[in-house]
Amino acid sequence: QVQLVESGGGLVQAGGSLRLSCAASGSIFKINAMRWYRQAPGKQRELVAAVTKSGSTNYVESVKGRFTISRDIGKNTVALQMNSLKPEDTAVYYCNAEIMPTPLNTYSYWGQGTQVTVSA
């Protein structure tokens, strides 16, 4: 059984910072890409940032220069450092990972989500 557990959400004023963390646990052979998504009320879930197993990263245009995704392969964790937060960053943030529980299978797993609220 593989689980992703997120932490680090909360309430912050515009211009502030938050750091989200996500830890994968359970039967894990290998983790490929790890990603952060977000979903604001009434909107579709969108990909915010992704990091491959080789360390390549990409970001949605609206967070470039403000957010940084990083991973610790040895600890099976991924983090999202969010700086210069804006009210429009308010959303539930979800961790997602492509995990191989065995050498033969790859599945997409999701965390439970963590609320980020940015006040004006």
Q: What is the pLDDT of residue 69?
A: 98
Q: Of 48, 40, 41, which is closest to residue 64 (Cα–Cα)?
A: 48
> How far is 50 from 41, CA to CA, in rounded Å?
22
What is the C-alpha separation between 48 and 26, in angstroms, rounded?
25
pLDDT of the residue at 48: 98
| Buried-state track 60-87, b at ≥16 Cβ within 10 A, e below 16 | eeebeeebbbebeeeebbbbbbbeebee
Q: What is the pLDDT of residue 12?
A: 98
pLDDT of residue 7: 94
The whole-number pLDDT of residue 26 equals 96
Token pair, residue 12, equals 């912050």
Q: Which two tokens stand for residue 49?
A: 């940032």
- Cα–Cα distance, 29 to 116 (Å, whole number): 31
**pLDDT profile of the chain (120 residues), mean per 10:** 95 98 96 98 97 96 98 96 98 98 96 97
